[in-house]
A and B are shown apart, each in its own frame.
Chain A
Amino acid sequence: MKILIAIKQAIALDEDFEIRADGRDIEEDFFLPDLNEWDEYSLEEAMLIKERHADTPVEVVCVTIAPDSADEALRKCLAKGADRAIRVWDESMEGSDPVAIARALAAVAKKEAPDLFFAGVQSSDHAHGATGIAVAGFLGWAHSAVVARLDYTPGAKEVVLKRELEGGLSQELRLPCPAVLTIQLGINKPRYASLRGMKLAAAKPIETLAPGDIGLATNDCGESGSLARVRRMYVPEKQRAQILAGDVAAQAKALAAIIREATGS
């Protein structure tokens, strides 16, 4: 039984940063890279399945579509107990949008043929929230987003889960396997890697693949394989905010005055 997990080396920023000269991203010097927070949870969920059912062997495989700077994130997963790590990249993949990334992930999934495919609900940097479900689209598998509880016995033909909906509602679902699930924060308590885990992970290989190895053509990848591209990244201008004092009547009067001023009426 196999679980494939899509992971991402996400980027955090300090208070001070600069935008790249071409205006399309942040200057790399200011990147504080780390494993995407959501991915900590999907990895943990996979590890729990692996550990809870010791009699059925479960292989946990992590995959990322990224240059070698993301090896650190993969090693973190290996240190926490993932069995294998795969990284797919070449220069043609530069500029991929979530759909192009999903196309590549789906190609890996076809090759690996997992019973479950996990992705985070979203990534903490770009927050598209699209990749996981797009993978399901390419594969045509059953899928569910924002999974907050999961019941699965390795080898079973279906998975039972609870997913979060708007307004505090939850939905319980039963999906056939293979299935694509995007995993929500708080579904479990992610573990930390031990020093032993880190040392072992440092010695484990990372399988590196080029798009061709997974059957992708050049125009499936990068900007040519994407419908979206980043035109400009900028810090929005500060908007004016004002707290209206006084009781409701006074506030309403003040608000009316502001509207009148803004609309020139």
Chain B
Amino acid sequence: MARDPKYDILFTPVQIGPKTLRNRFYQVPHCIGAGSDKPGFQAAHRSIKAEGGWAGINTEYCSIHPESDDTHRLSARIWDKGDVHNLRAMTDHIHQFGALAGVEMWYGGAHAPCMESRATPRGPSQYASEFETLTYCREMDLSDIAMVQQYYVDAALRSRDAGFDIVYVYGAHSYLPLQFLSPYYNKRTDGYGGSFKNRARFWIETLEQVRAAVGNDCAIATRFAVDTLYGPGSVEVEEDGMRFVELADPLVDLWDVDVGDIAEWGEDAGPSRFYLQGHQVPWTRYIKQVAKKPVLGVGRYTDPEKMTEIVTKGYADIIGAARPSIADPFLPKKVEEGRVDDIRVCIGCNVCISRWEIGGPPMICTQNATAGEEYRRGWHPERFPKKGSEDSVLIVGAGPSGSECARVLMERGYTVHLYDTAEKIGGHLNSVVTLPGLGEWGYHRDYRETQIGKLVKKNKQSQVALGQKPMTAEAALTYGAEKIVIATGSSWNTDGTNCLTHDPIPGADASQPDQLTPEQVFSGKKPIGKRVVILNADTYFMAPSLAEKLASEGHEVTIVSGVHLANYMHFTLEYPNMMRRLHELHVEELGDHFCSKIEKGRLEIYNIWGDGSRRTYRGPGVFPRDANKTHRWLEFDSLILVTGRHSDDSLHRELNARQSEWEANGVKAVYLIGDAEAPRLIADATFTGHRVAREIEEANAQFPKAYKREVAIWGNPHSPGVNPEIEYES
């Protein structure tokens, strides 16, 4: 099908300096865990998007010098010839598909802890980073300023040599140029501080110098947080924001604008829990009033309708996207081909971001199981190898993992029966989406539902059987499938079993009228009393989400948490607003507390650090610390047990116990995927389903095939002319 003409404007080219963007879809800089050290990963992940129709594709933030070293997190680097060589793979592959490649030149100041290089970061003034709180920078004097500006120029020249078409001076997320501009960081009294003109000077001069060096060959872009969202005292869009754009406009070919800082960059990469598509427009729309150069904005743009509105209303000229491009690298192509309903819509969970926040393991995506696997496993997001046998497959469980497995097997041409007791595809996600703010997570289910619906029409032998009786081992064995995939999910523990004691909690029993598991809260069958205690030993969203839900419904909620409440939400950038929300709702948190026993209407809690600090050997049978005497009772009307999960794998166990009957029934193999194998993130559950579907012909597809590794090879120098042998200074 051809594209809908109402989207034509998104496919008109834009001139940026000496280069042309072929359309309005643009992948803004975002980390993936590749940097310059995994060139294959970098080249494949970015060029897949070039193939998928994006016009411009960027690196992640790319350090210009060892003085800006973000280790433990993983940035790209363009420090030397070795980096140029490695990044060349990315630009070459992007160019093959007719897109432009951009590099985001980055100097972090005190936000870069320099844990690898051990260099001292420099900044406009000395300050302790509010993000990397133990790191201070040194205040630059005038010669320092000249030196750092030269770093930008040298890095720009290396970037040009690496084949980049777009060179950024990166001043969003509170990195160096913005640190000069914002009085929050800049306390100088010389020509680089004080007045707006003085605070803008560093950035303006840097742009001038970079432009003079590479401006004939490359488009010069700058990324600018036009409002840091601090109110007065930093950058506000209608003040320094617009002023700076007006001043610097002649020096840039492309404005890439967003909002926020680094310590709370979830205000930019807004999770769907708190922010809708287009959430930055109230700030960024001012920029077009002063910019004569093309402007691009971000805001989890997944819907071509909304994108068209952004362009036609004149809020931006180009649609920037990080997450939507991760969830669907082929988004532009799908719009172009009139296949809008095939778009794998980003759900806004920020699990992609969590990996960078954790410190740079390869990025994963909840929606797109192939993200990060393009190079090392050879997974293309839209192409699948043809089936390797005539085996038909029964999948029991249509949750995230089972439905992904079914989708991929069907794409490969296998006959698949997807079987579930629920009336809808989605598994536990169907409950999760009813939690406050998590409605958009349902796109994960919707995508699979739509695709499977189409695939079933293509192969009449395939079938989705919903609303069925629970599958028994007998029924599975005699079903007639050669391969059986068990994707029966997991449940919350009913007896208080948790990661701290690895045992049930005495008295914990969700069959009692005043105790509930999260599933029982969702089902709404058990009445919930006024005073609710949530007993938590899970570090993700369930406890805070239930607290928010119940407190908004008028309950008095206390969370007793033996682990760092919502710790993983730091990594997904949901933490700050989640805490604000709980605070607004007067949810009490008793942190560092857990529970020793439960009786009707009350639980005994203790401070987890209440035992003695001195450890002594006291002989067998005796605890080596002084006893914990902090135990006290806490009353509740209803107690919710968010202590841990367990796999619902009994069908798998039964089938394994009857392995001797497999052959007679024509069963060749049984696999276990998703939460049924081990409770995990939705992204990882989805991945296991996808992987088994891709590798089902392997001798034992239960266990992953080896993937291609990208690591330094002994004896080979990273940069030419370096001796790779051990050599000491004498």
Contacts from A to B (Cβ < 8 Å): 16, 32, 72, 76, 189, 192-199
Contacts and interface: CB of A to CB of B under 8 A. Distances in A.
A194 B457 contact: no
A192 B457 contact: no
Given A32-B457, A72-B460, A195 B481 contact: yes
B467 A198 contact: no
Interface string B383-421: 000000000101000000000000000000001010000
Given A32-B457, A72-B460, A194 B479 contact: yes
Nearest to A195: B480
A76 B478 CA distance: 19
A192 B478 contact: no
Question: Which 10 residue pairs spanning A and B have beta carbons closest together?
Answer: A196-B480, A195-B480, A192-B465, A195-B481, A194-B479, A195-B392, A194-B480, A199-B480, A192-B463, A195-B479
Given A32-B457, A72-B460, A195 B417 contact: yes
A111 B1 CA distance: 50
B480 A198 contact: yes
Contacts of A194: 417, 478-480
B512 interface: no
A207 to B, nearest CB: 22
Nearest to A73: B460
A197 B465 CA distance: 14
B467 A189 contact: yes
Given A32-B457, A72-B460, A195 B467 contact: no
A20 to B, nearest CB: 22
Contacts of A189: 467
Interface in B626-651: none
B12 interface: no
Contacts of A196: 478-480
Nearest to A197: B480
28 contacts: A16-B1, A32-B457, A72-B460, A76-B460, A189-B467, A192-B417, A192-B463, A192-B465, A192-B468, A193-B463, A194-B417, A194-B478, A194-B479, A194-B480, A195-B392, A195-B415, A195-B417, A195-B461, A195-B479, A195-B480, A195-B481, A196-B478, A196-B479, A196-B480, A197-B480, A198-B461, A198-B480, A199-B480
Nearest to A202: B461
A189 B417 CA distance: 18
Nearest to A33: B460
A121 to B, nearest CB: 22
Interface string B56-78: 00000000000000000000000
Interface string B455-498: 00100110101011000000000111100000000000000000
A133 to B, nearest CB: 31
A13 to B, nearest CB: 12
A85 B296 CA distance: 63
Contacts of B415: 195
Nearest to B478: A196
A194 B415 CA distance: 12
Given A189-B467, A194-B417, A195-B415, 5 more contacts: A72-B460, A195-B392, A195-B480, A196-B480, A197-B480
Nearest to B479: A194
Contacts of B1: 16
Interface residues of B, number: 16
Nearest to A189: B467
A199 B457 CA distance: 19
Contacts of B457: 32
Nearest to B468: A192
A198 B465 CA distance: 14
Nearest to A75: B460
Contacts of A72: 460
Nearest to B415: A195
Nearest to B481: A195
A224 B348 CA distance: 63
A195 B582 CA distance: 50
B477 to A, nearest CB: 10
A16 B457 CA distance: 16
A197 B463 CA distance: 12
A192 B394 CA distance: 13
Contacts of B394: 195
Q: Of residues A193, A194, A196, which shows the largest number of chain B Cβ atoms within 10 Å of its Cβ?
A: A194
Contacts of A198: 461, 480
A16 B2 CA distance: 13
A189 B392 CA distance: 25
Nearest to A198: B461
B718 to A, nearest CB: 54
A192 B420 CA distance: 12
Nearest to B392: A195
Contacts of B468: 192
Contacts of B392: 195
A58 B318 CA distance: 68
Contacts of A32: 457
Q: Of residues A16, A76, A198, which shows the largest number of chain B Cβ atoms within 10 Å of its Cβ?
A: A198
A16 B460 CA distance: 21
Contacts of A16: 1
B513 to A, nearest CB: 32
Contacts of B417: 192, 194-195
Q: Of residues A16, A193, A194, A195, which shows the largest number of chain B Cβ atoms within 10 Å of its Cβ?
A: A195
A12 B392 CA distance: 27
B655 to A, nearest CB: 16
A76 B463 CA distance: 12
Contacts of A199: 480
Contacts of B460: 72, 76
A244 to B, nearest CB: 28
Contacts of B481: 195
A76 B462 CA distance: 12
Interface in B538-556: none
Q: Of residues B417, B461, B463, B480, which shows the largest number of chain A Cβ atoms within 10 Å of its Cβ?
A: B480
Contacts of B479: 194-196
Nearest to B460: A72
A106 B480 CA distance: 36
A189 B394 CA distance: 21
A16 B1 CA distance: 10
A194 B472 CA distance: 14
Contacts of B461: 195, 198
A198 B479 CA distance: 10
B24 to A, nearest CB: 27
Nearest to B665: A196
B469 to A, nearest CB: 10
A192 B419 CA distance: 10
Interface string B1-39: 100000000000000000000000000000000000000
A197 B478 CA distance: 10
A103 to B, nearest CB: 30
A193 B468 CA distance: 12
Interface in B487-523: none
A131 B394 CA distance: 38
Nearest to B482: A195
B452 to A, nearest CB: 14
A189 B423 CA distance: 12
A196 B468 CA distance: 17
Contacts of B463: 192-193
A189 B460 CA distance: 20
A160 B44 CA distance: 68
Contacts of A197: 480
A107 B461 CA distance: 32
A264 to B, nearest CB: 38
B15 to A, nearest CB: 37
Q: Of residues B415, B463, B468, which shows the largest number of chain A Cβ atoms within 10 Å of its Cβ?
A: B463
A182 B461 CA distance: 28
B486 to A, nearest CB: 16
A194 B457 CA distance: 17
A72 B460 CA distance: 9
Interface in B547-591: none
Q: Of residues A72, A193, A197, which shows the largest number of chain B Cβ atoms within 10 Å of its Cβ?
A: A193
Nearest to A14: B457
